[in-house]
Amino acid sequence: MTVQTVGYASYSQPLEISGDIHARLNVDLSFRVSGQIVERTADVGTHVKPGDVLAKLDDAEQQTNLRAAQASRDAAQALLVEAEATYQRQRQLLDQGFTTRSRFDQVEQQWLTAKNTLTSAESALENARDELSYTELRAPSAGIITARNVEVGQVVQAAQAAFSLAEDGGRDVVLDVQETLVNHGPPGTPVTLKLLSDPSVEASGRVREVSPVVDARTGTVRVKVEIIDPPPQMALGAVATAAVHLPVNDVVVLPWSSLTSDRGHPAVWRVAPDSKTVSLAPVEVLAYERERLILRSGLDEGATIVVKGGHMLHEGQVVDILNEQPAGGEGK
């Protein structure tokens, strides 16, 4: 049998995952009225500034409505001027006793009605102006157009997504992480990011958001890592690797060949120092790496563990030690 003496050492579990770079805020832009597109000035990849016109609708109907609203407002203003003049005359006549109270009340009511009519007409005119402005789709903020769903000549409905805008500012690396690893990277965990196509491009990050839902198809959880001061090379859509800085643990490193099972749970064969008999020792595995195991607990410092030939053993068997490896085992 080949054995190894247990020795604990400091270990930080490596965790490196790749993901795509996304904008912090992605906005779907749409017209607020229906109509036919007569002009489109933005395409995928276009960088826009706040207020830039992305597309226009045929505004003939809105122009007609605006002219009608202006005419109604002008007519309401004329009626108010006439009603107010009549009201002022009747008030003077009432003070002099040359008209009746009922006639004055009637004229006053006509004046108040004319004021309300003008207010309503001005509101309708403002609505018509808004409707006309809605025929132009403008960028609400600076960013890059990432999707275009419309073309000139197409008839679109109100609220139909026309463009997608990735706003300038924050950038995230979006990762799909195995559910079992989520506890190692709660929000705020520091992360080192490198561009997959050019590892020399590096940036710091931190876990910003962890989805509470597990993807039923892949069994993964979506994690968003905020890029702190992203370099220009980390553009939207690029692939970056994220190395998570996990806590340092005191662990035992053993070769793969030492692992066995005790009623479905991981275990290793432990050799009694005096009798040289073997017994199963349940262990807690922190990580499985290439050609070696990382054990969190279950073994005492200085214990002797079988690392080769364990498949031929049974409980209480006396063994002969042919070779002893240094702490750390194969593959360290």
CATH of the domain at 220: 2.40.30.170
Q: b vs e for 1-31, b when ≥16 Cβ sit within 10 Å of the residue's Cβ?
A: bbbbebebeebebebebebebbbeeebebbb
**What integer pLDDT is reported at residue 151 of this predicted model?**
94
Q: Could you tell me the pLDDT band of residue 43, with boundaries at 50, 70 and 90?
A: very high
Q: Is residue 66 part of a domain?
A: yes
Q: Is residue 332 part of a domain?
A: no
Residues 6 and 36 in one domain: no
Convert the pLDDT of each residue in 184-233 to its tens digit.
Answer: 667 888 899 999 999 999 999 999 998 988 888 888 899 999 999 999 89
Q: Give the CATH number, domain containing residue 144.
A: 2.40.50.100
Q: Could you tell me the pLDDT band of residue 332, with boundaries at 50, 70 and 90?
A: very low
Convert the pLDDT of each residue in 250-301 to its tens digit.
Answer: 899 999 889 998 888 999 999 998 888 999 999 998 878 788 888 988 888 8
CA distance 106 to 88: 13
Residues 94 and 66 in one domain: yes
Q: Which domain holds residue 66?
A: 59-135
Residues 176 and 226 in one domain: yes
Domain C-terminal end among 224, 245, 266? 245
In this structure, of 3-17, 162-176, 210-224, the range with the lowest mean pLDDT score is: 3-17
Instruction: Show contacts of 57-62: CB within 8 Å, 24+ apart.
Output: 57/31, 57/33, 57/135, 57/136, 57/156, 58/135, 59/35, 59/132, 59/135, 61/35, 62/33, 62/128, 62/131, 62/132, 62/134, 62/135
Q: Could you tell me the pLDDT band of residue 327, with boundaries at 50, 70 and 90?
A: low
Q: Is residue 106 part of a domain?
A: yes
**What integer pLDDT is reported at residue 185 of this predicted model?**
64
Residues 187 and 64 in one domain: no
Q: Give the CATH number, domain containing residue 115.
A: 1.10.287
CA distance 157 to 34: 4
Q: Is residue 48 part of a domain?
A: yes
Q: Give the CATH number, domain containing residue 279.
A: 2.40.420.20
**What integer pLDDT is reported at residue 308 of this predicted model?**
87
Residues 88 and 102 in one domain: yes
Q: Is residue 331 part of a domain?
A: no
- Helix, strand, or coil (residue 153): coil
Residues 34 and 159 in one domain: yes
**What integer pLDDT is reported at residue 329 of this predicted model?**
43
Q: Is residue 186 part of a domain?
A: yes
Residues 126 and 151 in one domain: no
Amino acid at 176: D
Percent of residues, the chain, with pLDDT higher than 70: 95
Residues 292 and 273 in one domain: yes
Amino acid at 219: G
Residues 150 and 32 in one domain: yes
With 70 as the cut, is the pLDDT of residue 182 above it? no
With 90 as the cut, is the pLDDT of residue 137 above it? yes
Residues 147 and 43 in one domain: yes
Strands (E), 114-189: 136-138, 143-148, 155-156, 161-167, 171-178
With 60 as the cut, is the pLDDT of residue 141 above it? yes
**What integer pLDDT is reported at residue 87 of this predicted model?**
92
Domain C-terminal end among 92, 111, 135? 135
What would the mean pLDDT of 38-50 be, rounded to a whole number? 95
Convert the pLDDT of each residue in 153-166 to its tens digit.
Answer: 999 999 999 999 99
Q: Is residue 284 part of a domain?
A: yes
Q: Domain count for the chain, please give it.
A: 4
Convert the pLDDT of each residue in 54-78 to its tens digit.
Answer: 999 999 999 999 999 999 999 999 9
Q: Is residue 285 part of a domain?
A: yes
With 90 as the cut, is the pLDDT of residue 27 above it? yes
- pLDDT, greater one: 99 or 29: 29
**What integer pLDDT is reported at residue 326 of this predicted model?**
65
pTM of this structure: 0.64
The closest of 306, 175, 319 to 240, measured between CA atoms, is: 175
Residues 148 and 48 in one domain: yes
